Amino acid sequence: MLKLCGFHISNYHNKVRIALLEKGVAFEEDPTCTPSQKDEFLARTPMGKVPFLELGGTTLAESQVICEYLEEAYPQKSLYPADPLARAKVRELIVLIELHVELVARRLYGQVFFGKPLAEDVKQSVEKDLAKGIRALRARAKFDPYIAGAELSLADCTAFVSLPLVSLATKHAYGRDFLEDIAQLKPYLKMLEARPAFRQVNEDRKAATARAKK
Ligand SMILES: N[C@@H](CCC(=O)N[C@@H](CS)C(=O)NCC(=O)O)C(=O)O
């Protein structure tokens, strides 16, 4: 049995969780794993990050790698289109969302979630880099009705867990949601939330966030 290790607040963890649920792959969870640089944890996940998957006496780290593995090992209910170029377009969207948008906004999280000071130069460089990432995302996102076009894909799992964080972080740090100009985004996220897998992961995320605040 696959075991997904991580925690329900992590967007990367939640991306894999949605993929597993949408694909109908049975899995167990250890939702108590938190990042650590201790040797015994590094032996399970080499960067000390979550999520990671335990399977067949070994482990697999990196959410995108895990999702690609799941696609190949469990090809039923694919989260990629059949056409190679269309598949590449899904991966392009995932890179734009994770690398050029969410990872850039992540530099704000220390201030947004933990009240740490945010240096003015960091604030300015994040604004500049986010403008480029969001422009690229707008250029590629289709919302027709899914982000990559007619079919649900892994890019939707990625968008659903990452983009609301970017809205929250930019609203907090700059007083403006940098994604607000993408008019289709809110109804699109709402549409995704009507799917049981997306809804369950979002509800579990909210419950875990409320527990963490206590
Ligand atoms: N590229 C990794 C990123 C995973 C990641 O950054 N996870 C966060 C939790 S959301 C973490 O473990 N952070 C701890 C750290 O950076 O040391 C993936 O896609 O799985």
Euclidean distance between the first and final Cα of the chain, in Å? 33
Work out whether strand 2-5 and strand 27-30 pair parallel, antiparallel, or are unpaired.
parallel
Ordered by where they begin, the domains of the chain are 2-73 (3.40.30.10), 84-213 (1.20.1050.10)
Q: What is the pLDDT of residues 47-105, one digit of tens each?
A: 999 999 999 999 999 999 999 999 999 999 999 999 999 999 999 999 999 999 999 99
Cα separation, 101 vs 132, in Å, equals 8
**The model scores a pTM over 0.85:** yes
Are the beta carbons of 165 and 110 closer than 8 angstroms? no
What is the distance between the alpha carbons of residues 149 and 21, in angstroms, rounded to a whole number? 21
User: What is the tens place of the pLDDT at every residue in 10-58?
Assistant: 999 999 999 999 999 999 999 789 999 999 999 999 999 999 999 999 9
Q: Is 102 in the pocket of ligand 1 (CB under 6 A)?
A: no
At residue 141 the predicted structure's pLDDT band, cuts being 50, 70 and 90, is: very high
**From ligand 1's centre to the CA of 61, what distance in Å?**
10
> 35 CB less than 6 Å from ligand 1?
yes
Angle at 158 between CA 144 and CA 33, to 5 degrees: 160
